[in-house]
């Protein structure tokens, strides 16, 4: 059992050490630019990636500003797609599961916005369709993928690939969660610093 644990931790450590740090930095720049132009960030994924998308919305909209909620009158506008289970099932049943993200996205998307697409394989058809829509609208796409990156990595403007053997979802999804928290922590520190500067200059 201990050997299994050490092996798993070793796999995670090796993959973490090869993360594309420059692409993660680019993602932070894209997200900050969307915030500064008062745009919205649409986040989506399937299965475990849907759970990560939902978590990210909570962290962006609240946790980033949690130290001084009342002092930040303008916050991130992060939205998970679809925003309700009813909408998801309506698109899936009436149109097709490949449209559960692109369908809602076409209702909202503006040039000021940004998209975060999460897919371990990078090849889920519903993810690809939504990303293609964002590209047609000239909206920047941050792609979080795994394995070899798949189609998502080809299409995304920012390419964050957790490179593993195909099928290692447990490692990809776990490291995607680490990246989520890394970006959340960056912005929490950034806005705390901005507030401290304003307070000192008052």
pLDDT tens per residue, the chain (202 residues)? Answer: 999 999 999 999 999 999 999 999 999 999 999 999 999 999 999 999 999 999 999 999 999 998 877 776 688 999 999 999 999 999 999 999 999 999 999 999 999 999 999 999 999 999 999 999 999 999 999 999 999 999 999 999 999 999 999 999 999 999 999 999 999 999 999 998 888 887 776 5
Q: Which percentage of the chain shows pLDDT scores above 70?
A: 98
| Beta carbons of 129 and 101 less than 8 angstroms apart | yes
Spatial CA neighbour of 49 closest among 126, 148, 112 = 126
Number of structural domains in the chain: 1
Q: What is the CATH number of the domain that holds 147?
A: 3.40.50.10490
| Beta carbons of 112 and 161 less than 8 angstroms apart | no
- Phi and psi dihedrals of 110, rounded to 5? -125, 160
Tell me: the pLDDT tens digits for 147-174? 999 999 999 999 999 999 999 999 999 9
- Phi and psi dihedrals of 104, rounded to 5? -60, -35
Tokens at 132, concatenated: 């293609």
Rounded to two decimals, the pTM is 0.95
- The answer, yes or no, to whether the previous bond of 113 is cis (omega within 30 of 0) is no
What 8-state DSSP symbol labels residue 7?
H
Residues 57-69 as b or e (16 or more Cβ within 10 Å = b): bebbeebbbeeee
What is the residue range of 93's domain? 2-201
Alpha helices in the chain (DSSP H): 2-17, 21-36, 48-61, 85-94, 102-108, 125-136, 150-155, 169-201
């Amino acid at each position: 059992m201990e050997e299994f644990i050490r092996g798993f931790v070793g796999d995670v450590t090796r993959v973490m050490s090869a993360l594309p740090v420059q692409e993660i930095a680019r993602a932070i720049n894209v997200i900050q630019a969307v915030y500064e132009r008062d745009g919205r960030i649409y986040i989506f994924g399937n299965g475990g990636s849907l759970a990560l998308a939902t978590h990210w919305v909570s962290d962006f909209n609240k946790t980033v500003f949690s130290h001084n909620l009342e002092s930040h009158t303008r916050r991130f506008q992060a939205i998970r797609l679809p925003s309700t289970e009813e909408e998801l099932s309506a698109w899936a049943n009436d149109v097709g599961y490949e449209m559960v993200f692109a369908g809602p996205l076409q209702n909202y998307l503006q040039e000021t916005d940004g998209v975060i697409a999460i897919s371990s394989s990078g090849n889920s058809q519903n993810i690809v369709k939504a990303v293609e829509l964002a590209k047609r609208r000239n909206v920047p796409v941050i792609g979080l993928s795994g394995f070899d990156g798949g189609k998502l990595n080809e299409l995304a403007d920012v390419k964050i690939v957790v490179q593993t053997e195909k099928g290692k979802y447990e490692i990809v999804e776990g490291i995607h969660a680490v990246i989520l928290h890394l970006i959340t922590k960056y912005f929490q520190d950034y806005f705390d610093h901005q507030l401290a500067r304003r307070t000192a200059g008052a």
